Amino acid sequence: MRMIVCLAFLSVIFPCHARAIEPEKFLPPDTVFVAMVRPKSVLASALVKSQGWDELLKALVATNGPAQEFLENAGLNPFTQIDSVLVASTVFPLLVNPSPEEASSFKPSFLVTIRGNFQSKKLIKAIETLGKENGAPVKRVKVDDLTLWELPVPGVPVYVAIHNRQKAVFLATRKEDAVRCIRGGFEGLKSGELTEALTSLDGKEAIYLAGTLPKKIGEKMPLDPLFQALADQVDASSVGAAATDSIHLGLNLIPRAGKSPATLRDSMEKKLLPDLKDKITKARQAAANQPDKVEIGGRVLKGYLDVLQGTRFATEGRTIRLKCTLTESLLSSIQGKELKKP
């Protein structure tokens, strides 16, 4: 159990400054969803520090006993030695209502690439020690001239590969993926739409997500009618956040084949956003009749309206871009906090 906790912690909590397309060599061809985080960029943000989120994250690590023990054994400081974490998945993570056919063939795989400064011998020893302490010894697996470590995670084994020259550690549910990464990576994605969504990012993001949307996504997960028509027009999307003294958000949408970028933009700019503003305005009016909720609720709803008012649209080729900036005061408003007096 401790092994699962540690693996989940490393893969999710530390769930690169070139263009975002550069790490694509570590994305398997059948990838449909990608997530990336640069811990150093996040923690260096003045806004993150002012909100106390950096200390919150450090406290989270310090109070997680199994993860803290693993990090100490590995000689690894995740806040100074982790450059980036790239997660690739062969399934869209919001697929909450699969059909019987999909459920029967549901065999998702993932590949996590962690880049930074590692002490390979200490890391390997920490992995093997963790396995022994949990009664699940880690196996060394030879593939030609390569050595992998097989972690006996319930349900599916996880293979670990270490590439000293690339300063990278790979965790993969498919052995062949770990091997391909050590041998130089993959040649590209099958999905041109996902590639397009990734290249729409500007490479400055501290965090980004990108993926192809399943067809008829409304049948897979509950969607507000406002978003249903939009989702049916989108094939792939990416969203990124750069963190400085503000959070700069960017959303990129790639329309499905046969759908016009102009039509998609009109759907958002002339239908979705006005309808959202109308809903929020009505919610503010309703909150005004509830004195116990009007102060905090009013600030939150006003913050949402300000975000929508500040959203800007642009069209580049087939890509629809939306951008907005969350300042400290706007973020406080969204969280229902009182604004600091100057």
pLDDT for 339? 52
pLDDT for 1? 37
- The answer to whether residue 129 is domain-embedded is yes
pLDDT for 207? 93
Q: Quick one: 113 and 202 in the same domain?
A: no
pLDDT for 142? 93
pLDDT for 106? 62
Interhelix angle 2-13/120-133, nearest 10 degrees = 140
Distance CA 76, CA 92 (A): 31
The ranges of the chain with pLDDT < 50 are 1-23, 341-342
- The answer to whether residue 137 is domain-embedded is yes
Distance CA 237, CA 194 (A): 7
- The answer to whether residue 274 is domain-embedded is yes
Written as six digits, the tokens of 69 are 């023990």
**Global pTM value:** 0.82
Q: Quick one: 259 and 174 in the same domain?
A: no
Q: Measuring CA to CA, how many Å separate 205 from each of 9, 24, 35?
A: 22, 15, 11
Q: Quick one: 176 and 205 in the same domain?
A: no
Contacts of 232 (CB under 8 A, 6+ apart): 216, 217, 218, 256
pLDDT for 99? 62
Out of 182, 217, 245, a domain closes at 182
Q: Quick one: 171 and 238 in the same domain?
A: no
Written as six digits, the tokens of 308 are 């929508």
Out of 147, 182, 217, a domain closes at 182
Q: Quick one: 200 and 268 in the same domain?
A: yes
Q: Quick one: 267 and 175 in the same domain?
A: no
What total number of domains does the chain contain? 2
pLDDT digits (tens, 9 = 90+) for 100-148: 666 566 677 899 999 998 888 888 888 888 888 877 788 999 999 999 9
Instruction: Give me the amino acid identity at 226.
Output: L
Q: 158 is in which domain, residue-wise?
A: 2-15+67-182
Q: Quick one: 269 and 210 in the same domain?
A: yes
pLDDT for 96? 52
- The answer to whether residue 78 is domain-embedded is yes
